[in-house]
């Protein structure tokens, strides 16, 4: 049956909390999210000759170059530098791609929003979903590299879903935040790209925290949310340890707060999107 | 007038766009001008003070010049926009035929696009599986269903979009000037489908510039101009009043 037994009633004056409405809507439209993610993955696969393999090759290639260039400089401070840098790249790429895609989808796909009702957060959520699929695929070359350079793989790797979840929450929150601003100002998307690049260099993606002088280490690591999230990501897989409870709590806090703030901000403004000519 | 259930109600509805007097497209520009005190906002009311009741099973025609606010009114009913003022009340499942294949992605095959479009309209995987055969039958595209849509002719794409959009059982159907697309046989098919919906008791809101279509199909008509309702009533009355007004007066 197409129709539910109860006839839906829409009353524009009777809106409860927009944030809750949106949450309900997104859950109702979960099949749409699946389809949008599928669309992203399929079109990427169809367009390139390497297809899905490119997802894995890209960070692998970067890692190779960085390892060759920097393993002397950083290798001393960090054992298994290749695995270190690859894991950092994978986590970072997930964040960067999801947030960028969320913004681009909303700005370019916005015309769809003006024609048919779909939950406004669909684009950001599906962008994060696509990012997750790519992230999971990239774990394969990471495991391979770890085996090759003999970084031990421990049972703690099974704890990986937790840091991945926090990374996803954080990415979704930021994605919602940036895409809301991008609707109003065309140059936000560009500015964000530049900001992202700077942010990456300020995060322990390529370099290990130990190489920083004590003073900078404090500022750059303590105030940078990605520091905690990337550390949490590396801990079970590269270091083979159970994450420290403090790290876990801080990361959970960052992820939850960012998602909440992003969701609230986005839903408070999303009614206006259709007005943006 | 006979008793009927109201399915759409617009109460004192207004839609206001805020137009920035100078084109400020970037954040940098905005901050600079804000600083200089040059930001002035003007108001543009796409709809203002609109009151309208639509009953179940009614076929309502919406006519008026370009920019009158017809599309905006449809968007309000389709939940795409929320009104700036007033209240929009809609009872039932709304299906917009605002544009065929609006959600089509050219790299995906017809099959993949059917499922994507179905998801956009709010259907689940199971529901789409069930509808798939019917849709392809109606569109007569069995030979091409696994070909990327970028290779379809515009007629094929229109047929597919129409088939996906109309394989539904909505309570309220919204048509924004889409019936005039396509060749003769396609137009026949679309009109037949509209009549089928009407016979099933669906409520239909139709926007068209084609007075013949409106006169043939609609019970009532609304004449919208500059965001306000000029006239509501029996189709023939409204249509003739509208057509008379088109004749330039002698000054």
Q: B147 touching A, CB under 8 A?
A: no
- Token pair in block for residue A104: 């681009």
Residues of chain B falling short of pLDDT 70: 1-4, 20-26, 29-30, 33-41, 98-102, 178-182, 249-251
ipTM given for this complex: 0.76
Q: Which of A116, A126, A129 to mutate to test the interface with B (most CBs of B within 10 A)?
A: A116
Q: Which of B85, B146, B96, B154 is nearest to B122 (CA)?
A: B96
- Say what the pLDDT of residue A3 is: 43
Q: Which residue of chain B is at minimal alpha-carbon distance from A275?
A: B17
Q: Which residue of chain A is at minimal alpha-carbon distance from B105?
A: A39
Q: Which of A16, A111, A115 to mutate to test the interface with B (most CBs of B within 10 A)?
A: A115
Output phi, psi for B192, to 5 deg.
-60, -40
- Say what the pLDDT of residue B251 is: 44
E-only strand ranges, chain A: 9-11
Residue ranges making up the domain that contains B214 = 6-20+42-245
Instruction: Judge whether B29 lies within some domain.
Output: no
Output phi, psi for B76, to 5 deg.
-65, -40
Query: Between B27, B92, B169, which is nearest A2 by CB?
Result: B169
A207-264 pLDDT per residue, tens: 888 777 877 777 777 889 999 999 999 999 888 888 899 999 999 999 999 999 999 9
Please indicate whether, in this complex, the C-beta atoms of B75 and A114 are within 8 angstroms of each other: yes
From CA A127, how far away is CA A179, in angstroms rounded? 11
CATH number of the domain residue B67 falls in: 3.40.50.300
DSSP A22-47: HHHHHHHTHHHHHHHHHHHHHHHHHH
Instruction: Judge whether B35 lies within some domain.
Output: no
Query: Between A7, A36, A275, which is nearest B81 by CB?
Result: A275
B203-242 pLDDT per residue, tens: 889 888 888 888 888 889 999 998 888 888 998 888 888 8
**Which chain A residues are closer than 8 Å to B88 by Cβ?**
10-12
- Say what the pLDDT of residue B182 is: 64
Please indicate whether, in this complex, the C-beta atoms of B108 and A39 are within 8 angstroms of each other: yes
- Say what the pLDDT of residue A149 is: 84
Instruction: Judge whether B158 lies within some domain.
Output: yes
CA A227 to chain B, closest CA, distance in angstroms equals 29
Q: Is B246 helix (H, G, I), strand (E, B) or coil?
A: helix
Query: What is the total count of domains within chain B?
Result: 1
Please indicate whether, in this complex, the C-beta atoms of A7 and B107 are within 8 angstroms of each other: no
Output phi, psi for B124, to 5 deg.
-95, 170
pTM over 0.95: no
**β-strands B220-225, B85-91 pairing:** unpaired
Return the H-helix or E-strand segment holding B96: strand B94-97
Q: pLDDT grade, residue A51 (50/70/90)?
A: low
From CA A215, how far away is CA A231, in angstroms rounded? 19
Instruction: Judge whether B203 lies within some domain.
Output: yes
Instruction: Judge whether B219 lies within some domain.
Output: yes
Instruction: Judge whether B33 lies within some domain.
Output: no
A140-170 pLDDT per residue, tens: 888 988 888 888 888 888 999 999 999 999 9
The CB-side HSE value for A41 (13 A sphere, CA atoms) comes to 19
């Amino acid at each position: 049956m197409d129709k539910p037994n109860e006839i839906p009633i829409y009353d524009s004056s009777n809106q409860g909390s927009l944030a809750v409405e949106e949450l309900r809507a997104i859950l109702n439209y979960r099949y749409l999210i699946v389809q949008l993610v599928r669309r992203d993955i399929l079109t990427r696969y169809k367009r390139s000759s390497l297809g899905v393999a490119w997802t894995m090759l890209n960070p692998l290639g970067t890692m190779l170059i960085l390892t060759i260039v920097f393993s002397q400089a950083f290798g001393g401070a960090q054992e298994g530098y290749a695995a270190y840098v690859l894991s950092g790249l994978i986590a970072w790429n997930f964040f960067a791609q999801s947030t960028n895609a969320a913004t681009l989808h909303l700005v370019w796909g916005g015309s769809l929003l003006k024609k048919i009702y779909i939950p406004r957060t669909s684009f950001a959520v599906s962008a994060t979903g696509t990012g997750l699929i790519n992230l999971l695929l990239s774990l394969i070359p990471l495991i391979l590299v770890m085996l090759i350079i003999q970084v031990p793989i421990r049972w703690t790797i099974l704890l990986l879903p937790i840091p991945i979840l926090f990374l996803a929450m954080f990415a979704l929150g930021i994605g919602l935040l940036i895409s809301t601003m991008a609707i109003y100002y065309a140059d936000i998307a560009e500015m964000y790209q530049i900001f992202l690049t700077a942010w990456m260099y300020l995060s322990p993606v390529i370099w290990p925290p130990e190489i920083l002088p004590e003073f900078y280490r404090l500022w750059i690591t303590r105030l940078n949310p990605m520091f905690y999230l990337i550390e949490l990501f590396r801990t079970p897989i590269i270091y083979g340890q159970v994450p420290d409870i403090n790290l876990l709590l801080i990361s959970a806090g960052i992820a939850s707060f960012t998602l909440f703030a992003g969701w609230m901000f986005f839903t408070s403004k999303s009614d206006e999107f259709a007005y943006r000519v | 007038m006979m008793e009927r259930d109201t399915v759409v109600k617009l109460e004192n509805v207004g839609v206001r766009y805020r137009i920035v007097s100078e084109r400020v497209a970037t954040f940098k520009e905005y901050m600079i001008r804000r600083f200089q005190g040059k930001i002035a906002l003007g108001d543009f009311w796409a709809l203002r003070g609109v009151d309208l009741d639509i009953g179940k099973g009614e076929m309502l025609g919406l006519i008026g010049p370009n920019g009158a606010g017809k599309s905006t009114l449809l968007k309000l009913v389709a939940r795409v926009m929320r009104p700036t003022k007033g209240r929009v009340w809609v009872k039932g499942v709304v299906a917009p035929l605002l544009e065929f294949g609006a959600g089509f992605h050219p790299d995906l095959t017809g099959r993949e696009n059917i499922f994507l479009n179905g998801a956009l309209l709010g259907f689940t995987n199971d529901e789409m599986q069930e509808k798939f055969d019917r849709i392809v039958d109606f569109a007569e595209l069995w030979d091409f269903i696994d070909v990327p849509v970028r290779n379809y002719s515009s007629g094929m794409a229109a047929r597919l979009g129409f088939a996906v959009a109309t394989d539904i059982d909505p309570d309220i159907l919204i048509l924004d000037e889409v019936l005039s697309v396509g060749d003769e046989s396609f137009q026949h098919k679309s009109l037949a489908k509209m009549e089928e919906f009407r016979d099933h008791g669906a409520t239909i809101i139709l926007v068209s510039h084609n007075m013949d279509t409106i006169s043939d199909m609609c019970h009532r008509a609304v004449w919208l101009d500059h965001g306000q309702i000029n006239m509501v009533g029996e189709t023939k009355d409204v249509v003739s009043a509208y057509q008379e007004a088109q004749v330039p007066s002698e000054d």
